[in-house]
Amino acid sequence: MYGLSMPLESINLLISKSERPYDATAVANGCVSSPFRSAERPTHNGIDIAYFLKSGGSRSLAGEIRGRSIVAPKAGKIIDRGYDSMRGYYVVIDHQDTEGIVTRYFHMNEPAVVSLGSVVAQGQKIGTVGTTGNSTGYHLHFEVQPKGKDYLDPRKCLGDGSNAQRCPYIEPVVLVSYNKTGDGVKWVQWNINDKGANPQLVVDGEFGPLTLASVRKFQSQRGLDPDGFVGPLTRAALACPFNEPAVYLMKGSEGDGVKWLQWYLNRKDFGLVVDGDFGNLTRAAVVAFQSRARIEVDGIVGPITRDYLKNF
């Protein structure tokens, strides 16, 4: 439904590729140091980009992102820029699209290099990463909001291969269960319909008997515990648009099975383009994930790595 045109490539989304502080084969993983509306920060209306993993999975040092160029993910008009004690140096872009998308960039190192009212092109530099305002370290705080509506998770708007661009509801960050109401339930119902578990389920925001039965049916189909509770595992299965592969994946593999892998890696904040190509970046992400999960580190994705991706 919402899109900013530029593919999701984690730190490469907004930090100029020509100034990447890592080698060409490194995966820009782990850069989202604080995600959108996590359980720990439910009012955090954007994402913080602060770190990355270098080739082989080692994490960058604090401050290495300092001064890197921030670029516009899509063309638009500068509608606000300035400084205050909370946002530090900041800039706001109205992308002037049919969805009314506005993006915001906080804590820049210095005043924006673009003037108020100017029009910027996709990929044009608008400022540099800093730690001004209410900030605890060098990072970019990035927000996406349609005019007059609630904030959106930037990672999904930037195109991580999920159905988030089609779904009109924001994925909940809390457990959704029987007798619950609201947009979180609507998200569940919409995705249940989208997956074909019950195409006739009414999206009314009421978690009643029909929704409960539909959730349990979907959980059984996906090999999940059919308990009727929609937590992180069920949410991921609902959100993922690709089927889990039944074969081993490794460098050189291609197709929807690799897209499933890349999508689940992005769920762990690995910023990959979901293109179905198991290349150097995808292998580096797999190696880093296997190391993090403390399973055999071989860059090959078999049943154990798939299970950890879903459950870890």
End position of a domain, from candidates 239, 268, 299 = 239
First-last CA distance in the chain: 29
- Rounded CA-CA distance 91/113 in Å is 9
Query: What is the pLDDT at residue 135?
Result: 93
Domain annotation covers residue 245: no
pLDDT per residue, tens digit, the chain (312 aa), is 444 433 333 334 444 333 333 222 222 233 567 778 877 788 999 888 875 444 444 445 556 678 877 878 778 899 999 999 999 999 999 988 767 889 999 999 999 999 999 998 776 788 888 999 999 888 889 898 888 889 987 766 654 444 444 566 777 878 999 999 998 999 999 889 888 777 678 999 999 999 999 999 999 988 889 999 999 899 989 988 888 999 999 999 999 999 999 889 877 877 677 778 899 989 999 999 999 999 999 999 999 999 999 887
| pTM score, whole prediction | 0.51
Query: What is the pLDDT at residue 4?
Result: 47
DSSP lists the bridge partners of residue 270 as 29
Q: What does residue 63 show for φ and ψ, rounded to 5 degrees? A: 95, -10
Q: Are residues 192 and 104 in the same domain?
A: no
- Rounded CA-CA distance 253/235 in Å is 27
Q: Are residues 148 and 179 in the same domain?
A: no
CATH number at residue 28: 2.70.70.10
Query: What is the pLDDT at residue 198?
Result: 72
- Rounded CA-CA distance 267/260 in Å is 11
Query: What is the pLDDT at residue 311?
Result: 81
CATH number at residue 264: 1.10.101.10
What total of structural domains would you count in the chain?
Answer: 3
Q: Are residues 178 and 194 in the same domain?
A: yes
What DSSP element (H or E) covers 272? none
Mark residue 243 as left, alpha or beta (left: phi above 0; alpha: psi -120 to 50; beta: remaining): beta
Domain annotation covers residue 60: yes
Q: Are residues 16 and 151 in the same domain?
A: yes
Q: What does residue 301 show for φ and ψ, rounded to 5 degrees? A: -105, 105
Domain annotation covers residue 63: yes
Pairing of strands 76-84, 119-120: antiparallel
Q: Are residues 9 and 155 in the same domain?
A: yes
Query: What is the pLDDT at residue 299?
Result: 96
Q: Domain of residue 288: give its range.
A: 256-311
Q: Are residues 99 and 153 in the same domain?
A: yes
Q: Are residues 69 and 130 in the same domain?
A: yes
